[in-house]
Amino acid sequence: MAWRMILPAVAMAALWACSESGQPPPPPVSGLDARPVNSSCVAPERDFITATVTTPAAFPALVFDGPVAMLQAPGDASRWFVVEQGGRIRTFANDDAVPATSDFLDLQARVHLGVESGLLGLAFHPDFASNGRAYVNYVTEAGAGFRFVAAEFSSPDGGLTLDPGSERVVLSVVLESASRVGGGIAFGPDRLLYIGVGDGDAADSAQDPATLLGKMLRIDVDSQPNGAPYGIPADNPFADDELCEEGLAESGSCPEIFALGFHDPRRWSFDRVTGALWVPEPREPAAEEIHVVELGGNYALIDPIAAYGPQSGDAITGGFVYRGSQVAALRGRYVFADFGSGLLGSLAPDGGGGFLIEQIVRPGATPAGAPGPLEVSAFGQDAGGELYVLDYGRGAIRRLAFIAGDGSDNVPDLLSETGCIDTAEAGAPELDSLIPYGLNAAFWSDGAAKDRWLGLPEGQNITVPDNGDWDFPNGTVLVKHFHLNDRLAETRLFMRHPDGGWAGYTYRWNEAQTEATRVRGGLVAPVGGQDWIYPSEADCMFCHNKASGYSLGLETAQLNGEHHYPQTGITTNQIATLNAIEALTPPITGDPPAYPDPADQSQPLEARARSYLHANCSFCHRPGGPTPAQMDLRHEIPLEATGACDAPPTLGDLGIPDARIIAPGDPDRSELLSRMSRRDFAGMPPVASRLPDPAGVALIRAWIESLTPDSCR
């Protein structure tokens, strides 16, 4: 894309810049005759959704002794399992009318019961129905101290019970204290076993990679190489080191580690839709924290996405991302509790890249249907995504029956009612009110074609700072269509509300292409022969984050290129057009930069590759971005300063021998290329995509092949 001189509209007629022939060049042509009048596509006041809850007794005839976990086996909604801290697991029919339980596993003789120790967690193998294998965490006495044990048990009777004599100890960790032992255990969406181990009151151990204390672990129990009790996933951060017996490394680091820096990871969960790992953490006495945990992160150093202080509670209990159907506004929100105060809350995006805690039950309050404040020791989630809580002191199970509160929901359910799109014209925008735009380098969206428009409030301009990353006035709406096989699949509205906060909303088009309905909480559904991801409100803010300036592609170097304007039929430079309609403050003059189209082979390979990485990776991989990987992939950063060129990977090597993030001249040793090429747990981007970009992979492969060691210096 050739760069061109851009002049403000007021100077076009007056400025004469002579060419070699002595004649002045023609002024840039505007694609619009005038700035569109936009009174309809304007962001309303931000939604403020509240919910109340009643807590009717579930299975009222049943009473449990110190219940600490509640779950169902994979694919079997017919019964429940409750873990009792003293050492028993009891099972019962998913039927209020059946007032009986039976023992599923009894380990009372092996378990050390303390305030924070005991039998702590249960995880069913994903193939439990066929292999009868399940895994538990417990604390037992060991000499003068204690031991944290993760063990496998097998069923002798088709899954009705587990045989206590079938125990296979998978791993154990020596503890000096039976406090802060962690205890959460679950299989992730990658079919690997995750185990949360506390720091055992040895806080300094949490950041020490030579011990399993204070870590989230990830192991492969289906692999036992050379007689080892488990295998190590190839992309674990320290995958090449020797297994840590008794929780300590003889040398090097513990390969079982997935992430580090934890105190007491007890009750954590995976989002069943996105696969995100949500881990609450006590940071006593200062705060209770909530993290979304990623591979290789050190969560003693990474800020939480939300936290609360002693005034709201002192013992956070992790729950689940709500995926039920009672209150649509809660779908996609993380729901949690506080054991000490009885707080029940959810996390709502704050529009600034973070989250707000909305209190569903205030600290110290008694929810409707309960005899007093609840001591929530754990949550349960049924097949439909509805939630239950264990009331520890009373030994009771209660359902969470949500009721929409008095908050406002100002963003309509129907796209036709937003004032941005005229659905009567097959999804065409209201062309007299929106400004079309395009990007020189577009983000990959699983092969979808995209149309984009800008709804700019009347009397308000785009601010152009020195760094070229544009800032938009309150009320702005960014509109984007996604087409698959010539059909509209989705329309997204990204709004800057009157309070200055940003938020994303997505709409799913019907089969007749006559209307689109708002999707709350995210959805994966088939469209045009492929699974299409409709992101949740929280997913939108993962990419549209504070570090990236929220609006992503709207920056000088992305819009300094030609675009076709349907209103006039003119194809011309976008910045010249925005200058001419006086939408930019200040106008862009001189010779501004332009990122090349990655597919334009007339442009240099290096520039095209860096343009691709800028558009697809740099919104997270930059200073302050939401990832523990320390890279800066913005286009303007010299390659040697990105932290990626000839740099060893910091979040696992994916099993690549002598891996580098970018290995000059050797794509097959380049972790960046491997992550681009996959969509499993180690794939990039981690949200909103299920298909790798073949053209992008080919481009980055060719670029890496062209690099030499001198490229990194």
Of residues 506 and 15, the one with the higher pLDDT is: 506
Residue 334, H or E segment: strand 334-338
Q: Per-residue pLDDT for 10 more than 80?
A: no
Residues of the chain with CATH 2.120.10.30: 67-266
Q: Per-residue pLDDT for 487 more than 80?
A: yes
Q: Per-residue pLDDT for 572 more than 70?
A: yes
Nearest to 161 by CA among 107, 229, 110, 221: 107
Which residues in 350-375 are b (16+ Cβ under 10 Å) and which e? bbbbbbebbebbebebebeebeebbb
- Amino acid 431: pLDDT: 59
**Mean predicted confidence (pLDDT) in 4-24:** 39
Mean pLDDT of the chain: 91
Strand pairing report for 584-585 and 462-463: parallel
Nearest to 51 by CA among 310, 345, 305, 463: 345
Backbone angles phi, psi at 234, to 5 degrees: -60, -25
Please give the radius of gyration of the chain, using alpha carbons only, rounded to the nearest integer: 28
User: Based on the number of CB atoms within 10 Å of its own CB, is 21 exposed (0-12), middle (13-18) or buried (19 or more)?
Assistant: exposed
**Mean predicted confidence (pLDDT) in 190-203:** 94
Class of domain 67-266: mainly beta
Q: Per-residue pLDDT for 195 more than 90?
A: yes
**Mean predicted confidence (pLDDT) in 138-144:** 93
State how far the Cα of 392 lies from the Cα of 381, in Å rounded to an integer. Answer: 17
575, two tokens: 């910045």
Q: What region, left, alpha or beta, does residue 293 occupy, with left being phi > 0 and alpha being psi -120 to 50 degrees?
A: beta
State how far the Cα of 462 lies from the Cα of 475, in Å rounded to an integer. Answer: 12
Contact 218, 193 (CB under 8 A): yes
Give the tens place of pLDDT for each residue, 663-698.
Answer: 999 999 999 999 999 998 788 887 889 999 999 999
- Amino acid 176: pLDDT: 87
- Amino acid 5: pLDDT: 41
**Mean predicted confidence (pLDDT) in 441-449:** 96
Give the tens place of pLDDT for each residue, 369-410.
Answer: 999 999 999 999 999 999 999 999 999 999 999 987 766 678
Give the tens place of pLDDT for each residue, 152-181.
Answer: 999 999 999 999 999 999 999 999 899 999
Contact 610, 640 (CB under 8 A): no
- Amino acid 612: pLDDT: 98
- Amino acid 351: pLDDT: 73
- Amino acid 687: pLDDT: 81
Q: Per-residue pLDDT for 183 more than 70?
A: yes
Q: Strand, coil or helix: what is 336? A: strand
Contact 545, 538 (CB under 8 A): no
Backbone angles phi, psi at 324, to 5 degrees: -85, -165
- Amino acid 23: pLDDT: 57
- Amino acid 154: pLDDT: 98
Q: Per-residue pLDDT for 444 more than 90?
A: yes
Q: Residue 471: pLDDT band by 50, 70, 90 thresholds?
A: very high
State how far the Cα of 455 lies from the Cα of 434, in Å rounded to an integer. Answer: 5
Q: Per-residue pLDDT for 422 more than 80?
A: yes
Q: Per-residue pLDDT for 242 more than 50?
A: yes
Q: Residue 655: pLDDT band by 50, 70, 90 thresholds?
A: confident
Q: What is the pTM of this model?
A: 0.75
Q: Per-residue pLDDT for 455 more than 70?
A: yes
Nearest to 177 by CA among 261, 116, 268, 119: 116
- Amino acid 406: pLDDT: 66
Contact 596, 607 (CB under 8 A): yes
Q: How many CA atoms lie within 13 A of 579 on its CB side?
A: 25
Nearest to 696 by CA among 593, 583, 617: 617
**Mean predicted confidence (pLDDT) in 280-308:** 89
